[in-house]
Structure 1
Amino acid sequence: MSDEQSDGFGAISVKPVIDSSTTDFIQDFYVPILSESVEYKRGAGYFTTNWLQSAARGITELAENGGTAKWITSPILDENDWEAIKTGDKAKRDRVLRSSLSGTISELETALDNDTRNAIAWMIADGLLELKLAVPEPSLGGDFHDKFGVFIDGEGNRIGFQSSQNDSKHAMTNYEGYRVDCDWISERESTAVSRHEHRFDQLWNDENEHVRTYSIPESIEEQIANTRDYGSRPYEQPEQVSSGPEDFSLREYQKEAVDAWFGNDCRGMFQMATGTGKTFTALAALEQYAKSVDKPLLTVIAVPVTHLASQWADEMEIFDLPKPHLLFGSVSKDWKQNLSRITTNIELATKDHEIVITTHQSLYNDDFREMVERLPGPIAFIGDEVHGLGSDEQRLGLIEAYDARIGLSATPERYYDEAGSRYLLNYFDGIIFEYPLADAIPEYLTPYEYHPIIVEMTEDEVEEYKKQSRKVAAVAASEEIDDETVSQVASQRADIVKSAERKYGALREQLKRMDDPHHLLVYTNDSQISEVQSILTENGIIQHKFTNEEDEEERDRLLDGFEQREWDALVAMKCLDEGVDVPATKRAILMSNSGNPKQFIQRRGRVLRKAEGKDKSVIFDMFVVPTMTPGDDIPAVEKSILERELDRFEEFAENAINKHGAWNTIDRVRRAYKL
């Protein structure tokens, strides 16, 4: 695009009706409108990448505008186009594959001319192009055959069109006609454009009861992709999309874990340090188990948070295992119907092996349990971050129907819940394999430095902590107050330490000492996150929050951007505690920690994963003390603050490169408080 100020769609002469006998659709319609657009929504019955090659200049300028394209099409695709689309979708999550799809916006037009399918793959990988596939329900019948679109410019002006033409090179040779509406011309045209956009958004969000709309991974899973051959017949047999096992080998300790599991009648828990390949180990055990049974097998994998489901599905691709079904509310509105179909496949022996990935929450749903329990077996179960399944409510999902059982966690014991811990140990038949952090560094995890930062509480915070401590003691001693109330009061006291005011000053000082801070994680709590984001921005650090408010698609985008240095820092709360891979992280600042070992051990694990160009990790830990000059008569309540903090320190310091230097920092505190 030129450096001159764009006039948007106002600079374009748009006719209300056009046809191919008088109009070059590419040069006279698509290119000029795309060049002024920031978003292009298109529904087309057929799509081929060759169409994009024709419209290369318009697509390039859409990208240069910071624009994106969203397209819905029928799953009737050219086989080579389909492979390019799948490659681009996989590259969103695969760092090595994405880096191999070289290309920038400035090279886009050339790439579209020379290697269109490669260009499509990296457009999808970079988020410039999103594609979904539409399939009418049996009640409607036939194919998705709609042809309409909406362009939006930087001023919010919209152009809508209904056409007889698909987005394929072959369609450009036909006699075709378009009806075009511009929302700034009249109320009638504005209404028409709004209806087009509403219809598109309804399809995109899978909210049309007569049409199912699939994202690419779901489409592969459902195996609905066909190939289209213009040279012979329009429909081929359904493409069986599968990826065979690649060459890989288990590490020696992973082999030991698998052998221990089989030696314990295919039951047991793996207690393995975060980042040492628990998922990989469990899938290797499952693959062997599936080959050992002579009846149709159902496998259920339960994850604590939804965005871990796709990570499991990705890991599964290199094993000789079927494509998994993701069954939970946010990705599968009809999960009950789908689970019924899956269990029927097993009952009727129409499938040898079906794999379901669900959430801890869905696992104990009555319908989920009943459908699984009706199967005669065998049924395998893998519980990821298994400590989360030990609560009174969630353990309802741990049914006896599961014959083979694997529990995974770096910290399987439940904090302050002996009953829940015992239940898990009994259900999984004990911890049968352990692989601690000390054994994994440096061969499989990155060595790390640990720097405790001493933060003194204000006088008001100390007084408030004492006040809350008296309240904790009073409610704990009362027989009329339930345990939940006691826990709430104790949590309010803990929040005083987590949110100590002087942590913000300590953060500013630490950031000033950092040379070119990048690939930085900052762990906060709800009361800190806004102020922490402001401090990072003040210091010229490009940051983004990573919380439960972002959906799965946005989280994937944030993690990709973090790895590619689009963001210097992610400011996270609890949602990065369990299972999410962030190997690019080089530094972490722990602004807020609970006393729960599960949490701080998981957070350390996020930082220690290996990545290219990363020789070590650095952890800065805010260590809260009442004061560094306590005097001779130290109240027990002040010592209790330190005892809680020291548990975390000892765990972190033990395996740090600078273990002795870290101990020296804390020894000042120990001496001051005579600990």
Structure 2
Amino acid sequence: MTELPNIPLTLNTSDNNFSLEFYDPCLKWAKKYDRGVGYFTSSWIRSNAYGLSHFAANGGTARWITSPIIDERDLDALSKGLIEPEDIDLVSTLKEEVRLLQEYLEEETLNAIAWFIYDGILEFRFAVPTKSLEGGDFHDKFGIFYGAEEKLSFNGSVNDSKKGERNYESIKVFPTWKGLGDFVEDDIKRFEKIWNNSDENLKVFDMPSAVKEDIFTLRTLERPYKLSEEKRIENKWRHQDDAIRNFLNIGNGILEMATGTGKTRTALSIVKILHNNKSVKSAIVTVDGSDLLEQWSKEVGMWTNLTIYKQFSRYKEISGFLLNPENAVLIISREFLVDFIDHFTNQILTNSIIICDEVHGFGAPMLVKKLSGKISPFKYRLGLSATPEREYDENGNDFIEAEIGGKVFEFGLEDAIRRGILCEFDYTPLEFELTEEDRKKIKQLIATHNAKKQAGEYVVDENLFRDIARVKKVSKAKLPIFYSFLQLNRDILDRSIIFVETKEFGEAVQQILIRFEPNYHTYYGEDDRQNLLRFSNGELNCLITSKRISEGIDISSVNNIILFSADKAKIQTIQRIGRSLRLDPNNPKKRAAVVDFIQVSDEGNSDHDRRIWLNEMAKVKREE
């Protein structure tokens, strides 16, 4: 057990060195520190770097409530609720403060501040007096240190600044182990009330994300402390809290989060928060595909105590939800959502959150036509996707934004790899040239398209491009190259998924595969579902599939992805390579591999663009 700090109950700057006699021993002992202070400067961190380094290594976290130094007119507007901090001036002012820090502080101090905030060790909120205190400042000065069992609070006149220790200042200390627990509990209640924006005469703001991003760029040196293992694990997932906070601040919008970074868990945390504070009585989850819908059912059952109704595949339970929507979750396919959306009463719409998973698919033309104006009436609308934008579909994107909202949070593949949530991967492009038969097919497609156009028929160029791409995806030129590659790289088939365009092309791949890996099978749809389960539990070593497994399926043991088929749009590629990037608890040193077929072309093509992008992604390294 860590020894309790031995400090006097009263200290002043004339007789005591606050850093050495108070902050250092308290920071070395504490697991948590809460501080409300009228004035904070980064020089305090420099003065207390020794204690803070121990605090960080012990897994400590600190919360500061302080006053923002902003223009008087903006302060007035903020206090009256006329503007939000992200609209102005709190952002621009804080950004200016970051710029001034860069000018006047040493690189080591800037680096330390940036790392403390990046690792979630320090969290700041800003308090502005309002109503009966309008025009004043947040000028309180108190704090609480939390140990494993005991606590300590203090009150006094000192600010958190270098000058604060040069003034004549004093503080009184209230340790619980000296019978002063009532004082400590009062300070804890007061801090929590302010932190949670529950004091009617204060308006409290988070540090804007735009300012955080600027601060993060100041991490020019290594961490000046050793991050605790507990904090290292917690730190990886702090993006979920940021996503939750961003969504709740707005009430609708899209979370763009890479595969494996916890979209489902984050969404269900939002549901629990809204349900617990009585903002909603029910939730609707909609997505396509029985695999994903079954997965949602499992997750909802694990992470909430709400009643689950299912309306997909063989489940026909929507009438139960419509009769008893309170404290319930409806998990429904998009197809059934179209059929039953008009049955949702106004009572349901105004007391529910709808979650649209894989939200990019929500912009499909049929859904745009049948659901326009029918999603926006829900009180809360949440979209989830690793790739929310529909490439080359402005109409679909406009529909998604109008019905659900814009993007409110982003945490992409690069972010996830750097933070160690997803694993690093190697990329191997295999070049091929179209066969003469391929070229003839493409020429015939172009000739037929042009002939129809000249004859006055209505033709769509996109259909021609799609048909040409399909010829390239099933080019037999890839097969001998794959065979030669396997002769030298048999291990690429270990825990692998091979994506093909058609079942027929998959059969041709099987003729090669059987020579190197007989323990494989196919998965093209519901009829082959048992094969997916066998692959998931390790009975099969390799799976040949098409689009059915692209989205949302969580099989952490997948090591390698082989792309015989890849679309021009990044959406599909991100979804597919994401199958292999999840961490595997049974293989802590896992490093994934992606093999891709690239058509050789003098004029360049979509394969060439994909190759450049995946090469860059493969260079991303884990930071922690």
Shorter-chain TM-score tier? 0.5 to 0.7
Q: Deviations over 1:248-280 (max 9, x none)?
A: 99921111110000111x101011112211111
Contact 1:384–1:408 at 8 Å: present in 2 too? yes
For the residues of structure 2 that align with 1:478 and 1:596, how far apart are their CA atoms?
Answer: 32
Q: 1:312 aligns with which of 282, 292, 296?
A: 296
Match of 1:541 in 2: 518
Match of 2:561 in 1: 588
| Matching of residue 324 in structure 1 with residue 298 in structure 2 | no
| Matching of residue 254 in structure 1 with residue 231 in structure 2 | no
Unaligned runs of 5+ in 2: 1-232
Match of 1:558 in 2: 534
Q: 1:441 aligns with which of 393, 417, 433?
A: 417
Matching residue's letter, 1:608: L
Matching residue's letter, 2:484: E
Q: Deviations over 1:26-74 (max 9, x none)?
A: xxxxxxxxxxxxxxxxxxxxxxxxxxxxxxxxxxxxxxxxxxxxxxxxx
| Matching of residue 502 in structure 1 with residue 477 in structure 2 | yes
Matching residue's letter, 2:255: F
Match of 2:395 in 1: 419
For the residues of structure 2 that align with 1:592 and 1:567, how far apart are their CA atoms?
Answer: 22
Contact 2:414–2:620 at 8 Å: present in 1 too? no
| Matching of residue 344 in structure 1 with residue 344 in structure 2 | no
Deviates more, 1:388-397 or 1:405-414: 388-397
Matching residue's letter, 2:256: Q
Matching residue's letter, 1:585: V
Change (3 A) 1:458 1:580: same
Contact 1:322–1:354 at 8 Å: present in 2 too? yes
Q: CA RMSD in A?
A: 2.5
| Matching of residue 284 in structure 1 with residue 258 in structure 2 | no
Q: Deviations over 1:176-209 (max 9, x none)?
A: xxxxxxxxxxxxxxxxxxxxxxxxxxxxxxxxxx
User: How many angstroms does 1:479 deviate by?
Assistant: 6.2
For the residues of structure 1 that align with 2:388 and 2:575, how far apart are their CA atoms?
Answer: 12
Contact 1:326–1:358 at 8 Å: present in 2 too? yes
For the residues of structure 1 that align with 2:246 and 2:605, how far apart are their CA atoms?
Answer: 37
| Matching of residue 605 in structure 1 with residue 578 in structure 2 | yes
For the residues of structure 2 that align with 1:445 and 1:502, how far apart are their CA atoms?
Answer: 33
For the residues of structure 1 that align with 2:267 and 2:334, how far apart are their CA atoms?
Answer: 17
Match of 2:335 in 1: 361
Match of 1:530 in 2: 507
Deviates more, 1:306-315 or 1:603-612: 306-315
Contact 2:283–2:330 at 8 Å: present in 1 too? yes
Matching residue's letter, 1:421: N
User: How many angstroms does 1:534 deviate by?
Assistant: 2.1
Change (3 A) 1:308 1:376: closer
For the residues of structure 2 that align with 1:467 and 1:494, how far apart are their CA atoms?
Answer: 14
Q: 2:442 aligns with which of 457, 465, 472?
A: 465
For the residues of structure 2 that align with 1:404 and 1:424, how far apart are their CA atoms?
Answer: 14
User: How many angstroms does 1:399 deviate by?
Assistant: 2.5
Counterparts of 1:152-191 in structure 2, within 5 Å, are none
Q: Deviations over 1:85-137 (max 9, x none)?
A: xxxxxxxxxxxxxxxxxxxxxxxxxxxxxxxxxxxxxxxxxxxxxxxxxxxxx
Contact 2:247–2:408 at 8 Å: present in 1 too? yes
Q: Deviations over 1:133-152 (max 9, x none)?
A: xxxxxxxxxxxxxxxxxxxx
Q: Deviations over 1:353-384 (max 9, x none)?
A: 1101111211111x343235563630110001
For the residues of structure 1 that align with 2:241 and 2:558, how far apart are their CA atoms?
Answer: 28
User: How many angstroms does 1:472 deviate by?
Assistant: 4.5
For the residues of structure 2 that align with 1:551 and 1:249, how far apart are their CA atoms?
Answer: 40
Match of 2:541 in 1: 568
For the residues of structure 2 that align with 1:281 and 1:294, how far apart are their CA atoms?
Answer: 17
User: How many angstroms does 1:439 deviate by?
Assistant: 1.0
For the residues of structure 2 that align with 1:401 and 1:388, how far apart are their CA atoms?
Answer: 20
Change (3 A) 1:621 1:250: closer
| Matching of residue 653 in structure 1 with residue 615 in structure 2 | yes
Counterparts of 1:449-488 in structure 2, within 5 Å, are 449-472=426-449, 480-483=457-460, 486-488=461-463
TM-score using structure 1 length: 0.53
Contact 1:498–1:593 at 8 Å: present in 2 too? yes
Contact 1:372–1:401 at 8 Å: present in 2 too? no
Contact 1:449–1:658 at 8 Å: present in 2 too? no
| Matching of residue 577 in structure 1 with residue 554 in structure 2 | no
Deviates more, 1:458-467 or 1:505-514: 458-467
Matching residue's letter, 2:314: V
Change (3 A) 1:560 1:410: closer
For the residues of structure 2 that align with 1:344 and 1:444, how far apart are their CA atoms?
Answer: 41
SS of residue paired to 2:344: helix
For the residues of structure 2 that align with 1:508 and 1:374, how far apart are their CA atoms?
Answer: 61
For the residues of structure 1 that align with 2:451 and 2:594, how far apart are their CA atoms?
Answer: 37
SS of residue paired to 1:444: coil
Change (3 A) 1:548 1:376: closer
Match of 1:622 in 2: 597
For the residues of structure 2 that align with 1:250 and 1:358, how far apart are their CA atoms?
Answer: 32
| Matching of residue 489 in structure 1 with residue 451 in structure 2 | no
Change (3 A) 1:494 1:542: same
Counterparts of 1:146-225 in structure 2, within 5 Å, are none
Matching residue's letter, 1:309: L
For the residues of structure 2 that align with 1:594 and 1:476, how far apart are their CA atoms?
Answer: 26
For the residues of structure 2 that align with 1:402 and 1:573, how far apart are their CA atoms?
Answer: 35
Q: 2:282 aligns with which of 298, 302, 307?
A: 298
SS of residue paired to 1:558: helix
For the residues of structure 2 that align with 1:376 and 1:271, how far apart are their CA atoms?
Answer: 24
For the residues of structure 1 that align with 2:457 and 2:483, how far apart are their CA atoms?
Answer: 46
SS of residue paired to 2:567: coil
Change (3 A) 1:370 1:618: same
Matching residue's letter, 1:596: A
SS of residue paired to 1:654: helix
Contact 1:455–1:625 at 8 Å: present in 2 too? yes
User: How many angstroms does 1:310 deviate by?
Assistant: 1.8
For the residues of structure 1 that align with 2:275 and 2:234, how far apart are their CA atoms?
Answer: 18
Change (3 A) 1:318 1:251: farther
Q: Deviations over 1:311-369 (max 9, x none)?
A: 112222442331422212x221xx2xx322222223xxxxx41101111211111x343
User: How many angstroms does 1:463 deviate by?
Assistant: 3.7
For the residues of structure 1 that align with 2:551 and 2:452, how far apart are their CA atoms?
Answer: 32
Q: Deviations over 1:600-620 (max 9, x none)?
A: 110011111111215200101
Contact 1:520–1:568 at 8 Å: present in 2 too? yes
Matching residue's letter, 1:377: T
For the residues of structure 2 that align with 1:504 and 1:625, how far apart are their CA atoms?
Answer: 15
Q: 2:358 aligns with which of 385, 388, 397?
A: 385
Change (3 A) 1:322 1:476: farther
SS of residue paired to 1:588: strand
For the residues of structure 1 that align with 2:433 and 2:497, how far apart are their CA atoms?
Answer: 23
| Matching of residue 407 in structure 1 with residue 383 in structure 2 | yes
| Matching of residue 512 in structure 1 with residue 487 in structure 2 | yes
Matching residue's letter, 1:363: L
For the residues of structure 1 that align with 2:276 and 2:327, how far apart are their CA atoms?
Answer: 10
Matching residue's letter, 2:323: T
